[in-house]
Structure 1
Amino acid sequence: MLLKKENGWKNKDLEREKIFDFCQEYKTSLDLGKTEREYVRFGLELAKKNGFVCANSKERLEAGDKVYYVNREKNLVLVVVGKEDIKKGINYVVSHIDSPRIDLKQNPLYEELELAYMKTHYYGGIKKYQWASIPLSLHGVVILANGERRDIIIGEKEDDPVFTIPDLLPHLAAKYQGDRQTSEVIKGEELQIIVGSIPTEVKNSEIKELIKYQILEELNRTYNMIEEDFISAEFQLVPAFKAKDVGLDRSLIGAYGQDDRVCGYTSLRAILDLSEIPVKTAVCFLADKEETGSHGSTGLQSNYLEYFTSDLINKIQGAYNDLDLRKTLWNSNALSSDVNAAMDPIFKGVHEPQNAAKLNYGIVVTKFTGARGKSGTNDADAEYVWSIRNLLNTHGITWQIGELGRVDEGGGGTVAMFLAEVGIKTIDVGPALLAMHSPFEVSSKLDIYETYRTYKVFFEKMI
């Protein structure tokens, strides 16, 4: 039998209204959670409303218990304890909730030509020119000199000011930018935001930078900040616009941060919507730092997965040893829930069409990622690929296969290899996007809903 896939909207049994309603809630999640800290807060609030309690409040756990773990406000783990002995394995769905963005430098503020600017450092893989001349909002947290914390969001309310990175006008750009490579049309050090232009009214001969001083006055009045406080702050610049329907038929969604909050939201909703106690313990893990290599204490290269899994074993069994942890991980299944690149008819030359993902063809099963000769990847074994294929077919889920571009075109990685390194059977499964890593990524509503259905079935039925 030939491998034949078709556009999912051709399925007459699709509940279009249910799909559109689900995606309306998804868009709201994108608007409320534009940083990893915000997304953890959003997810935690939903979890508490659905009966999840802090794991630290429970000495023992039994089948049906619903608990959460939070790691440094940047990881959220939701757990539904299953009926089966935990050493027979856990079903993990692991997404990342960090997205490419622009961070402020630790000493960002300066004045020149009677304008105040702030210097930035981009985070993750971006096309830098895409971030110029668009409205940006500032999100972050600052710890003041006295230890007090301030959460700051500027640019999301209708009457808020926004920020922008000015680009060079085309009339003067031919010589200055014309010969630059695409990656340097805007250079990293040129990603600077305008923050003000009115000088202070303070009369003091020692104040040389009057506009910079006025900005510091405003920060001090509003947030109690002084210039040194930027050192103990995390400030991110993200697109100021909201998630929108795309197309006359409203079948698509355009928004910032869909890589990978589309998987974060669908996996979150999947575990919240479980109506029965699963056979295997179900874990939804929202991670950080994937876009920069999964390093740090909140990335998948830390041992946080082993930490909370050990705690689960201890609370379920009433005892713990390292061999129990190793058995549990080795017997576990995981979906590295991350996005793939949808083939764009404008740029289809970067794809090999027979193995490329397309919008509206359902969730994408990606056996391997990496670059060129499969470097930097988990290459799922045939047996595990079959088990996922069988699960999707058995439950009537619209799915497709996908590679991340032609063999020598480039490539990319996910968290899959870090899950596999501790023995968990793992494969990448998530929807496809157009314009990935841009300020306005495009997804299919049908694919989003099929992603949710996949994760829910995985939690419920994967053995």
Structure 2
Amino acid sequence: METTQMQYEKATEDLCTFIENSPSCYHAVANAASMLERAGFCELRESEQWKVEAGGKYFVLRNGSALIAFSVPDKHYGGFNIISNHSDSPTFKIKEHAEIQVENHYTTLNVEGYGGMLCAPWFDRPLSIAGRVLVREGKKVVTKLLYFDRDVLNIVNLAIHMNRQANKEGAGYRIQKDMLPIFSDGEKDATLSRMIAEELGVGEKDILGTDLFLVNRMKGSIWGDKRQFYSAPKIDDLQCAYASLRAIAEGENPHRVLVSAIFDNEEVGSGTKQGALSDFLCNVLLRINDACGRTAEERFILQSNSFMVSADNGHAIHPNYPDKGDPTNRPYLNGGVLIKSAANQKYTTDAVSEAVFKEILERAEIPCQIFTNHSDVPGGSTLGNLSGQQFSVNTVDIGMPQLAMHSPYETGGVKDTLQLIMAMAAFYKTAISETGRGEYEIN
């Protein structure tokens, strides 16, 4: 049955709602946990003993910003089908003791960069603050999510009259000088800690720590002469995270454990306890095997019959800069799932994983495109080659094409979210096994 424009738009609108309700990585993972609970998944804790049953669906959190969900069809499963993605996006982190008084008439907030963001689009738009706050409650230290659901800040541009070269030369933005948001009119009692305490209903002295970030307040929007495009914050990588959650919530495979891993800190290298370089995924998979009574020898066999999809978006050809793309591989919005490869192994795709995933997509009648970087314009890395250092399996790097990556307001194609959900669902239904030297069975 042919997919309709209404179905594409519905999936896009649902994604935009998920993004709107996920102003920080902590909110994104909390929303993911709620989605999974509604789908019948039960929470496990790393600090407790696990009881995993055939037919069970589970998820585990780490740091409040990373999550791994899995479903076990039978204790005699033949391997793992894994999708990995990440919860974080480039933004600005608010420093401790953030208030800066300027001539007794303004209060700005001291911020630092998180990830490789485009600075220019952050100017002159409504911003707010979101993240987590650690609060003393008696003898406990409790985490509380914080989001000021109103316009609070603005990073204000310098007028063209005072910077005549602004439109003629590339601007070199200095975060410590140019990117500090206006918070108040200089009143001495206008402090962020007071505002936080009032919002959460706690005492100022009970606030022990914060991880707070600037948030773009613009909502997602579908646009174009025939509503072909959409724009929203955090498409990279909440589109992939949302699609993997949808796919695992609805997915079934009698021969494979289905896994969705949402890591944090991809934008700053993944080298944290909740990042793709950590032991989080490896530990979860080992604990599943142990809880299901699999031997050490069986673990190695299961690993060899496992497959990972590393899902992180890639670049579409830009209409104003077509020369920035590869001359022969030309991905476009609404053109299908990207299969990403790079000779420097920043992406893990090789001929084997590409062939396997192409076959899955072709059987499901889902279009695909090839993404490679322009040879003189090196791109970034992603999750697959990092998590593979802890749990090495055949891995393909995929994503959806988008424009304005790492802007606070990115752009994608309206067809793309539903096509990605369908692609991930098709992968979860598939059993992939190496049956000989260089031969693979795909069922």
In the superposition, the TM-score normalised over structure 1's length comes to: 0.85
Q: Calculate percent identity across the aligned residue pairs.
A: 21
Match of 1:47 among 17, 20, 36: 36
Question: Residues 126 and 151 of structure 2 are in contact (CA less than 8 Å); yes or no, is this contact kept in structure 1?
Answer: no
Q: Does the aligned pair in 1 maintain the 2:25–2:65 contact within 8 Å?
A: yes
More strand, by proportion: 2
| Residue of structure 2 equivalent to 1:286 | 262
Which of the residues 71, 80, 95 maps onto 1:80? 71
Instruction: Rate the CA distance shift 1:110–1:254 in 2: closer, same or farther, 3 A.
Output: same
Query: How many angstroms apart in 2 are the aligned matches of 1:42 and 1:222?
Result: 20
Give the drift of 1:420.
3.0
User: Shift of residue 225 of structure 1?
Assistant: 5.5
Give matches, 1:413-428, under 5 Å: 413-421=381-389, 422-428=391-397
RMSD of the TM alignment (CA)? 2.4
Match of 1:365 among 334, 339, 344: 339
Q: In the alignment, which of 380, 396, 399 is matched to residue 368 of structure 2?
A: 399
Q: Please give the alpha-carbon distance, in whole angstroms, between the structure 2 residues aligned to 1:437 and 1:100.
A: 6
Q: Which of 178, 183, 191 does residue 195 from structure 1 map onto?
A: 183
Q: For the residues of structure 2 that align with 1:216 and 1:385, how far apart are their CA atoms?
A: 51
121-130 or 145-154, which deviates more: 145-154
Equivalent residue letter for 1:416: G
- Aligned 1:334-349 pairs, distance under 5 A: 334-349=308-323
Please tell me the residue identity of whatever aligns with 1:386.
A
State the partner residue of 1:441: 410
SS at match of 1:354: coil
Report deviation, 1:237.
0.4
Indicate if the aligned counterparts of 2:122 and 2:155 stay in contact, CA closer than 8 A.
Answer: yes
- Whichever residue aligns with residue 377 of structure 2, its letter is E
SS of residue matched to 2:429: helix
**Counterpart in the other structure of 1:272:** 249
**1:3-61 deviation digits (Å, cap 9, x = unpaired):** xxxxxxxxx93332222222221111011112111111111111111111123588543
Q: Structure 2 matches for 1:303-322, cutoff 5 A?
A: 303-317=279-293, 321=296
- How far is the alpha carbon of 1:461 from its aligned partner? 1.5
Shift of 1:356: 2.6
* Partner in structure 2 of residue 207 of structure 1: none
- The 3-state SS of whatever aligns with 2:421 is helix
Question: 2:102 is matched with which residue?
Answer: 112
Matched, 1:236 2:224: no
Q: Is the 8 A contact 1:139 1:153 kept in 2?
A: yes
Query: Does the 8 Å CA contact 1:365/1:428 hold for their aligned counterparts?
Result: yes
- TM-aligned CA distance change 1:217 to 1:425, over 3 Å: closer
Q: Which residue in the other structure is 2:162 paired with?
A: 172
Task: Compare the two structures and name the one with the higher helix fraction.
Answer: 1
The answer for the alignment partner of 1:451 in structure 2 is 420
Q: Give, in angstroms, the shift of residue 325 of structure 1.
A: 4.2
Change (3 A) 1:141 1:187: closer
Q: Return the offset for 1:174.
A: 2.7
CA shift at 1:382, angstroms? Answer: 1.5
Cα offset, 1:423, TM superposition: 1.6
Q: Distance in 1 between matches of 2:2 and 2:196?
A: 55
Answer with 54-63 or 24-33: which moved more: 54-63
Distance 1:308 1:395, change over 3 A: same
Q: Which runs of 5+ in 1 are unaligned?
A: 1-11, 200-209, 369-373
Which residue, out of 340, 356, 375, partners 2:330?
356
Q: Give the TM-score taking structure 2 as reference length.
A: 0.89
- Is the Cα–Cα contact under 8 Å of residues 26 and 145 in structure 2 kept in the other structure? no
Does residue 32 of the first structure (1) align with residue 25 of the second (2)? no
How many correspondences in the alignment? 424
Q: What aligned pairs does 1:205-220 form with structure 2 within 5 A after superposition?
A: 210=188, 217-220=194-197
Q: Contact (CA 8 Å) 1:90, 1:280: kept in 2 or not?
A: yes
Give the aligned partner of residue 359 of structure 2.
Answer: 390
Q: Flag the 1:300–1:383 CA change in 2: closer, same or farther, 3 A.
A: same
- Structure 2: gaps (5+ residues): 433-443
State the SS of the aligned residue for 2:255.
Answer: coil
**Secondary structure, aligned partner of 1:174:** coil
Question: d(CA) in 1 for partners of 2:162 and 2:363?
Answer: 60
1:119–1:189 CA contact under 8 A, matched in 2: no
Give 1:316 shift.
1.4
